[in-house]
Structure 1
Amino acid sequence: MYSPTVHHLDCAPMQPVGGPPLVAHCLLVSTGSSLVLVDTGLGVADVMDPRRLGALFRKTVRPTLDLSYTAVHQIRALGYDPRDVQDIVVTHLDLDHAGGLADFPDARVHVMADEYRAAMRRETRLEASRYVTAQWAHGPRWVVHDTADSDWHGFAAARVVRSPDILMVPLPGHTRGHCAVAVQQPSRWLLHAGDAYFFHGEMDLRRQRCPRALTLHQRMVADNHAERLTQLERLRELRREDPRLIRIFSSHDAQEFDRLSEEERMGRRRGALRRPIGRSGF
């Protein structure tokens, strides 16, 4: 199996009113033959025309609107060609997760069927406010996953890519078709839990905690708050199994993002030190 290179990208730093700083944690996975992007954060068009994000989002969440944070710019800065992003896997289609879809117009966009239907129909007042249809007005190459074809640690899952395995793990509650995304690494799994929770303290196995502002926000924006809490407890049980085997993190927790980014940097540094230096010794 090819050992993937995984980059952690913050594609929309945010400073909500009354809450801690947040990130838009996206993953760039190099499979050897192509690139896979997990979530996109905000995109170039969102930065260039913030009005499409809505005044409420801008005033309460206060995103950093800077082109350098967009996924397409960060991918170029890493030395990759954005045209090599062949697949985008979205945890859900909220505006701070799907804003960059248009920056990769030729990519296949993988989404759970319930999420696709919710975003296209926008039947409730909450869904009408959370989904920005302009973000997919370019006509993405949707790949809608209607069934789970795999079992992943007791969770139903839909496989997106093989070698390395990348799977979509349905975790409804935050939205109708919300999912986590599991990425296989040689010695562990990364589980991008999307918006299943917002704060690392919610996953504490001894004493769960979360800033009041984030607790209220999660309740307010949940499609089904009770179901979200059920899925969160399932994630805690998964963490109890073996936290070394499965690394769980959410979309918006800045502390988790900083730790994983530092691990990524340290891993690259160790890899560089292990490379042969050649006969000359230089």
Structure 2
Amino acid sequence: MRIHHLDCGTMAMGMVDHCLLLETKRDGLVLVDTGYGMDCVRRPGQMIGPFRFVAGLKLRPEATALWQIQALGYDPRDVRHIILTHLDLDHAGGLSDFPEATVHVHGPEFRAAMVGRALGERMRYRAQQWAHGPKWMVNEVEGGEPWFGFEAVRDLPGLPPEILLVPLPGHTRGHVGVAVDSGRGWLLHAGDAFFLGSTIDPVNPRTPLFWKAYGMGAIVGSAYRENQRRLLELKRDHGHEITIVNSHDAALFTPFASPR
């Protein structure tokens, strides 16, 4: 399986919005997270709100997944599936660019976004981003398939078995990682389960104070911290078999970035 790494939203402090485009043999293209889309570029106030100032967003059409997929020579209509690590506004902002795609989201995440029980949840989700009515495929399975000590969800409807969901709650109630067997090893996109690669460094784990404070916004703090510990152990014990990336650390994105 061929994997393309896309930066779909440059932010302050050198942060990226790391999405994946997967070429499958039989199921078309699969997009993991969407970053910011064309509607965000056209109507940032409506689609993103005040967060665009806080995050120091630089919104450009050519940075959207839509444009980057076209630049790779593909038809965006070939994106048949979108897998969301979670529904935060910087991860689901491009859903409307792919209205025919089936959108896979974990059940606890879907319900949190639609109901928004806590203040932090009401602030982080932007219902305008799915006002077009996506083709939701809500996954209610909590896990069970063993994957390097984690429970994982395999055999998602319409997706090849080389793609797994790994429940990593904490940042949000239904946050998941997406594991992909490329045929040359595993890639785990851990979303916002951690923000800097140094946090899960097995030799010298460290998280700057700013990011520790930012992490306090996790909806389930205990699960957030526990999953960071488990990801550190995963990297320590299986780093030769698994490459772990996340959504916003540019240092984890740059080695995979295609020249523009």
Q: CA deviation at 1:45?
A: 0.5
Task: Say whether 1:30 aligns with 2:23.
Answer: yes
Structure 2 equivalent of residue 234 of structure 1? 230
> Shift of residue 164 of structure 1?
5.6
SS in 2 for 1:96: coil
Greater Cα offset, 250-259 or 162-171: 162-171
Larger Rg: 1
2:245 is aligned with 1:249: yes
- State how 1:170-189 maps to structure 2 within 5 Å: 170-189=167-186
**Secondary structure, counterpart of 1:257 in structure 2:** helix
1:259 match:
255
Give 1:119-134 correspondences, 5 Å limit: 119-134=113-128
Given candidates 191, 201, 205, the residue that maps to 2:202 is 205
> Residue in 2 aligned with 1:101?
95
- Structure number with the higher helix fraction is 1
The alpha-carbon distance between structure 1 residues 125 and 204, as it changes in their structure 2 partners (threshold 3 A), is same
The corresponding residue for 2:9 is 12
Aligned position for 1:275 = none
Task: Report the equivalent of 1:154.
Answer: 149
Tell me the percent identity.
47
Q: What is the rounded CA distance, in whole Å, between the counterparts of 1:83 and 1:165 in structure 2? A: 22
Aligned-pair CA distance for 1:149: 5.2
2:46 corresponds to 1:49:
no
Q: Which runs of 5+ in 1 are unaligned?
A: 266-282
> CA contact under 8 A between 1:164 and 1:183: conserved in structure 2?
no
The TM-score normalised by the length of structure 1 is 0.87
Asked if structure 2 preserves the Cα contact closer than 8 Å seen for 1:10 and 1:23, the reply is yes
CA distance in 1, matches of 2:122, 2:161: 36
Equivalent position amino acid for 1:79 in 2: G
Question: 5+ residue gaps in structure 2?
Answer: none
What is aligned with 2:59? 65
Aligned CA RMSD, in angstroms, stands at: 1.4
For 2:78, the equivalent position in structure 1 comes to 84
The one-letter code of the counterpart of 1:22 is M
Partners in 2 of 1:212 and 1:14 — Cα distance? 19
| Aligned structure 1 segments of 4 or more residues deviating by more than 6 angstroms | none
TM-score (norm. length: structure 2): 0.94
The equivalent of 1:276 in structure 2 is none
Q: What amino acid is the match of 2:242?
A: I
1:211 shift after superposition: 2.7
Give 1:175 deviation, angstroms. 0.1
Q: CA deviation at 1:61?
A: 0.7
For residues 185 and 260 of structure 1, the distance between their equivalents in structure 2, rounded to whole angstroms, comes to: 14
CA drift of 1:82 comes to: 0.5
Please state whether the residue corresponding to 2:14 is helix, strand or coil.
coil
Closer/same/farther in 2, CA of residues 170 and 92 from structure 1, 3 Å limit? same
- Check the 8 A contact 1:164/1:185 in 2, yes or no: no
Q: Is the 8 A contact 1:11 1:23 kept in 2?
A: yes
In 1, Cα distance between the equivalents of 2:244 and 2:123?
28
* Amino acid corresponding to residue 97 of structure 2 in structure 1: D
Aligned to 1:280: none
Look up the equivalent residue of 2:24 and give its one-letter code.
T
